[in-house]
Amino acid sequence: MSPPPPPPVAVTAVPRLHPKARLQHDDVRGRDVLLYPQRYGAPAGTVKPDVSAFLDGLAAKGLVTYGP
């Protein structure tokens, strides 16, 4: 069972970014992006294969290098 939807936001409400969030323009994509640090509770053994595959894919494209 999913939680109920939040109540509608009042038209007069003023949006504010969380203090840890940052709105930044990405010149490569030509648009604004919202950056926010996140923490995940997954055990390292669960995410390690995914992180390794992601980094290996970037390395194959020359975007990540390994070394001293």
Domain boundaries in the chain?
Answer: 40-68
Sign of CA dihedral 18, 21, 25, 26: negative
| pTM score | 0.46
pLDDT, tens digit, 9 for 90 and up, residues 17-26: 889 899 999 9
pLDDT, tens digit, 9 for 90 and up, residues 29-42: 999 999 988 887 88
3-state secondary structure of 68: coil
Question: Which run of H or of E encompasses 36?
Answer: none
Average pLDDT, the chain: 88
pLDDT the model gives residue 33: 94
Question: Which run of H or of E encompasses 46?
Answer: helix 44-60
d(CA 24, CA 26): 6
Highest-confidence segment of 4-8, 14-18, 32-36, 44-48? 32-36
